[in-house]
């Protein structure tokens, strides 16, 4: 009986710890990557739609002033299919650029200092992840984008809509002239994120 109680307690602690670690914001949908032909050519496709998402915020009070700093990780899962099980020396990758943008009419223009950061709360420029491992590199399961930006109390309480744009290119590229096939050398998707905020406890 004592052993059973200890096991149940340990299991509960493990589950609580796992839920505490899994605080990242995972988007519904994924980026599909088809790896084809002998060279391992990568054909990417973005499978994301408009959706709601919740970001965690560090709320810090210092005297009469309270600041709200978003501190989270945005995760986009990868769904990879391979035509062959060939082993590569170099991993096969996708390059991506992603950013989130606010509507200028719905934000404060002044002060001008930090304006770019207020317009684009997230910028991930010219990044890459491996969709197939090689002898010189491991395979990634997702794109992980750090979120670190300040918001107002009003935005913390009410949330906001952000436009997210993502560009993806396979390497080796899947379509060198951008014409043949259904997937061009660079594929793009723009979605609206209905963002709500919660305090990071």
Q: Which residue has the higher pLDDT, 87 or 30?
A: 30
pLDDT digits (tens, 9 = 90+) for 103-113: 887 666 666 67
Query: Residue 196: beta bridge partners?
Result: 54
pTM over 0.85: no
pLDDT at 83: 86
Domain map of the chain by residue range?
24-199
Average pLDDT of the chain to the nearest whole number: 84
Give 67 or 171, the one with higher predicted confidence: 67
pLDDT confidence tier of residue 73, bands split at 50, 70 and 90: very high
**How much is the average pLDDT of 183-194?**
86
pLDDT tens-digit readout, 2-26:
444 444 444 444 444 433 444 589 9
Q: Which tens digits make up the pLDDT trace of 103-143?
A: 887 666 666 677 888 899 999 999 999 999 998 889 999 99
Q: What is the pLDDT of residues 80-91, one digit of tens each?
A: 999 888 888 999
Nearest to 162 by CA among 116, 106, 110: 106
User: What pLDDT score does 182 carry?
Assistant: 52
């Amino acid at each position: 009986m004592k052993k059973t109680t200890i096991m149940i307690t340990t299991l509960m602690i493990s589950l609580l710890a796992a839920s505490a670690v899994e605080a990242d914001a995972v988007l519904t949908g994924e980026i599909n990557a088809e790896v084809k032909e002998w060279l391992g050519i990568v054909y990417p496709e973005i499978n994301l739609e408009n959706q709601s998402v919740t970001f965690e915020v560090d709320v810090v009070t210092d005297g009469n002033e309270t600041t709200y700093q978003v501190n989270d990780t945005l995760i986009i899962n990868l769904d990879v299919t391979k035509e062959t099980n060939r082993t590569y020396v170099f991993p096969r990758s996708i390059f991506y650029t992603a950013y989130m943008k606010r509507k200028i009419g719905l934000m404060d223009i002044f002060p001008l200092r930090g304006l770019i950061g207020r317009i684009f709360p997230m910028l991930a420029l010219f990044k890459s992840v491996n969709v197939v491992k090689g002898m010189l590199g491991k395979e990634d399961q997702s794109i992980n984008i750090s979120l670190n930006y300040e918001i107002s109390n009003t935005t913390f309480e009410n949330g906001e809509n952000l436009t997210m744009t993502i560009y993806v290119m396979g390497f080796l590229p899947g379509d060198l002239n951008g014409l043949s096939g259904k997937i061009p050398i660079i594929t793009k998707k723009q979605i609206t994120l209905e963002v709500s905020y919660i305090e990071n406890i």
